[in-house]
Each structure stands twice: as structure tokens, then as C-alpha cells.
Amino acid sequence: MASWLDPSGHPVILTIPPTVYPPREDSVLLDNMLAGLGPGTGKTLLEIGCGSGAISISAAKRGWSVSSCDINPFAVAATIGNAKDLGVVNSINVAEGGPGEEGDWWPEEGVDVIVWNLPYMDPPDTDKEGLGPLEDAAMIDSSCGAKLAAELVESPHILNPGGIILLLHSSNEVGRNLPPIWRRLGWSTRVQRSEVIGDEELTVIAVWRPYAMSPPILMDTCDSTNSEILDGDYQIGQLIQTYKQKSGRGRKNKLWESGKGSFLGSWSISSNSIEGSPGYFQMGASIAILDTFSSFLGFGLPSHSWANGSRLTELGVLLKWPNDIYLEMAKEYAKICGILVEGKTKAGNTRIAIGIGINSIGPNIGVNTAGWRDIPGLQNVKLERISEVLHASMSSVFEIHPLLENTAFDCILEGQYNALIPSFNAGGNQNIGAIIGISKNGHLLTVNGEINSLDELDWHWNC
């Protein structure tokens, strides 16, 4: 027997066989996240790895229609038995199996939310009492998150349009590797909750299909993708991509030229997706680009933790404030991509266009340029893949989803700040003093004051 408190503070008594995972702090973290979605009336939930049934039963008590599964037959029996004892057995359908397993472990109809407390624990000490071989095997299966992603590629109907997946993972290597797997498959990911328990940081991330109601539009040519967004009538989240711009532009209306096979595109972004100045939109877009590169390299994502950006720095990828990304090549600095944020107010509504140009290879335009193919590990990445993952990364930062909290922009600010420091050390010796942060207005904070314009900086790069 075990007792735990549900999100409303009521004790719940569960019968738990020796081989079944009991509710712990991670279960509480995930259940509180679900409770934050509000009453489950009319909503459907699939819990993978239900264990004792604690989370499924808690959700059923809040009105969710629940399906549960577990590879451990004793967990299936425990969930059914506990659901009967607690009066919600008619609201829960339990099956044996899970991602990567044969059998009908998912419901016939799609669900609104999939939740999974992923295996992350070290295997129990064999000299001490453990959970048993079935649960032990699940706990050390590091590929389980990838298995769910693969299942959804084969059977996308499992998750309803607009649905989300909530995954709890640890701060260990398995946990850091999980978000890039989903991004490479074109899914958005965002941190929703984090809690340090003992020597582990447990994190709940949301996974969803990016801007599901606004599929990208590809044009052979256009004047400017930003102008197309601002002058057209497109939904929020719409990506307009083109192979060629007739009047592409960058900062201060400078002509933007890209080589063949480069990415040229703009997104229609809600002005409410970020609280702050226009500079915040540039910061968010720059983190989305760094996320995209990190995804292909299998690195942790900078949008999930500022510390993840250091591995890109080791490859020479540098962020030049406020809107360019450079690559260090043979002690020179070559521009890979630029960001242009523009706004337009019409009938009282403000529309934001975020334009991004990323070179595939550096065009010969009289200044040092590079492309994503010059980054070690990205030589063979095609334009179509860059487009897909960048779209998911922009959604991860900017999309307003009815079931999710908006991006915690403190993380974006930290990521931006830590990405900037190496570039200043490398070539931005502007005698402005040490960089100590980024202001609420998106300006650089230095020991000598605030910098609000690139014109105040004297970069020592040939760019």
C-alpha cells in the first residue's frame, strides 16, 4: 500500500505490487502539470507507462477520459485494481504494451494529450531490494522517447490535431538527447516545468506539431518574404519561404543576397507571443536558429537550457548582437545568417514579420560569408530539412498554444547572453566594458552603461 497527495491535496491510497513503479516526486510534478490544464471534461488522455495508475486515476477524477498502458502486466493489473477501489474504473481503459511493442496499446480514436514519465533512473542495486526485472528493464531503456516519435510517424492519428505530448525526463544525457530527436522529426518542444530533486533536475517538456493550422507556403520567387507577410492576409504562424527574393533586405534596408540552395523565409508572429521590445523577437529567432543547428548535431537545445549553447561555440558558431550569426573560419569571421524583424499595424492589430536568411554556402558578395554546410557535422544537411526543423524551432519559441504556457523568456535571455559573450571575446573589443546582461528592452548592459544600437559598437571583424 502507498499513499500520495493529488493536486488538490487529497490523500490517495494505492495498492502497489513489488514490481510496479510507485508514485514519487516525479509523478507529483507531472500530475500537477496535467492539473494545470484545467478540468478534463470532454478531453482525452493517454498515459504511457502507467505503473500503479496514480496519474491516470488522478486525471480521471478531474473528468478526463483516460487510456493507459504499460509493458509490465503487473502494472496493468495494479492500475485496474486501484481504479476500481477509487471508483473511476469506467473512466479508464488499460492495455498491456507501449511504444515499440505490438498490440493495441493505444485507443481506437485519437487523444488530446499523451503523457509519459520517461524511464530515467539508474538500475537498482542488485544487492538491494529493487522493482523487479520488468520495471528494471524499462528504467534503463534510453530509446523509449524515440520509440514514441517513431510510432507517431507511422500512426499520426494517435494524437488529435492541436494535441500535445508531455514528457518528463531527467537532466542526464538521455534527457538532453530527447528534445533534438523530436526537433529533427519536425516537432516543436518547450520546457513547461523543472524541479531539482536530490541530484537530478527533472523537466517536463511539451511536444506538438508546429502551427498545425498554418502549413508552410513555398514560392518560387517573391519580392520579399517579409513584405509578403506584412501586406498579405496570413494566419499567425504562417511561414512564407522562397527560393529567390527580388528585393530581399537586411538591417537598414541593405540588400540581402544568398547563394543557391539557401533558406529564405518569414513567419507571421503574434505580437503577444513575447512580452517585451522588438529586440526580444530578434533574440527568440536567434535562439531558434541555434536550436536548429543543435538539433542536427545531436546537441542539447539552447531554448531548453542556456548551458546547451556552449557546444556550438566550440564549433565556432557565434552570435553577433543583435541579429547575425557568424562562423569562425581560419581565424576569420564569416556571416552565416541574418534576422530582420518588422511590424505593421492595420485596423488596430499589429502584425510581426520575422525574416530569416541562412546561407547554404557563402555567396561571393565581397565580404566574408559562410553557410550551414561549413559547420562541422552539417555538410550534408539539405535545405528541405533545414526548413522543417527551423519551422519547428520557431514554433517552439513563439507559438501561442491553448494547452501550453508561453516560452519562459528568462531562458531565452540567458541563452542570448551566453551566446553573445564568446563573440565579444573573439572580435567585439569595442572598449565598452564587460557585458553583464541584457535589459528588459533588449539592450546590452555593460559595466559602463546600456548599449541600444549596433552603431555604438566597433566590431573588429571583417564583416
Which pLDDT tens digit goes with each residue over 124-178? 443 444 444 334 333 334 466 778 988 998 899 999 999 999 999 887 777 788 8
What is the Cα–Cα distance from 130 to 138, expressed in whole angstroms?
A: 13
Write down the CATH number for the domain with range 217-456. 3.30.930.10
Tell me the per-residue pLDDT of 326-383, one tens digit each, with 9 for 90 and over.
998 876 888 899 999 998 887 777 889 999 999 998 766 556 889 999 999 999 999 9
Distance CA 23, CA 40 (A): 21
Cα end-to-end span (Å), the chain: 67
Please check whether residue 346 is in contact with residue 356, taking contact to mean a CB–CB distance below 8 angstroms: no
Question: Residue 253 has what pLDDT?
Answer: 56
pLDDT of residue 450: 75
Residue listed under C-alpha cell 522517447: 145
Give me the mean pLDDT over the 375-403 stretch. 96
Of 15-19, 309-313, 320-324, the range with the lowest mean pLDDT is 320-324
pLDDT (0 to 100) of residue 277:
64
With vertex at residue 414, the alpha carbon angle to CA 411 and CA 418, rounded to the nearest 5 degrees, is: 140
The total of other beta-carbon atoms located within 10 Å of residue 296's CB is 19
**pLDDT score recorded for residue 275:** 66
The pLDDT assigned to 59 comes to 96
Angstrom distance (rounded) from CA 415 to CA 443:
15
Contact at 8 Å (CB) between 95 and 103?
yes
Classify 288 as helix, strand or coil: helix
Provide the mean pLDDT of the chain. Answer: 84
Using one digit for the tens of pLDDT, what is the confidence trace for 66-111? 999 999 999 999 999 999 999 999 999 999 999 988 878 999 899 9
Asked if pLDDT for residue 430 goes beyond 60, the answer is no
Q: Which of 290, 33, 301 shows the shortest CA–CA distance to 182? A: 301
pLDDT of residue 125: 43
Domains in the chain: boundaries: 2-208, 217-456
> pTM for the whole thing?
0.88
Residues of the chain above pLDDT 70, percent: 81
For residue 175, which phi and psi values (nearest 5 degrees)?
Answer: -65, -40
**Contact at 8 Å (CB) between 149 and 181?**
yes
User: What per-residue confidence (pLDDT) applies to 421?
Assistant: 66
Residue labelled with grid coordinates 505593421 = 344
Q: What is the pLDDT of residue 88?
A: 96
For the beta carbon of residue 253, count every other beta carbon within 10 angstroms.
9
Instruction: Give the pLDDT of residue 427.
Output: 52
* pLDDT for residue 452: 65
**Which is more confidently placed, 134 or 309?**
309
Task: Of 210, 22, 43, 203, give the one whose Cα is nearest residue 120.
Answer: 203
Specify the pLDDT at position 384.
97
Query: Among 16-30, 63-77, 225-239, 306-320, which stretch is predicted with the lowest mean pLDDT?
Result: 306-320
Residue closest to 68 by CA, chosen among 114, 30, 31: 114
pLDDT of res. 128: 40
What residue type is 440 in one-letter code?
Answer: K
The confidence score (pLDDT) of residue 137 equals 34
Q: By the 8 A CB rule, do 30 and 166 touch? A: yes
Nearest to 312 by CA among 322, 332, 323, 298: 298
Q: How confident is the model at residue 48 (pLDDT cuts 50, 70, 90)?
A: very high
| 231: confidence class by pLDDT, cuts 50, 70, 90 | very high
Average pLDDT score over residue span 444-458: 66
Which residues, in sequence order, are CB contacts of 84 under 8 Å at separation 6+?
A: none
Which CATH superfamily does the domain covering 2-208 fall into? Vaccinia Virus protein VP39 (3.40.50.150)
User: Which residues on adjacent β-strands are paired with residue 450?
Assistant: 445
pLDDT, one tens digit per residue, over 251-306 is 555 655 666 899 999 999 998 887 666 678 888 999 999 999 999 999 999 999 87
Of the ranges 49-63, 164-178, 303-317, 396-410, the best mean pLDDT one: 49-63
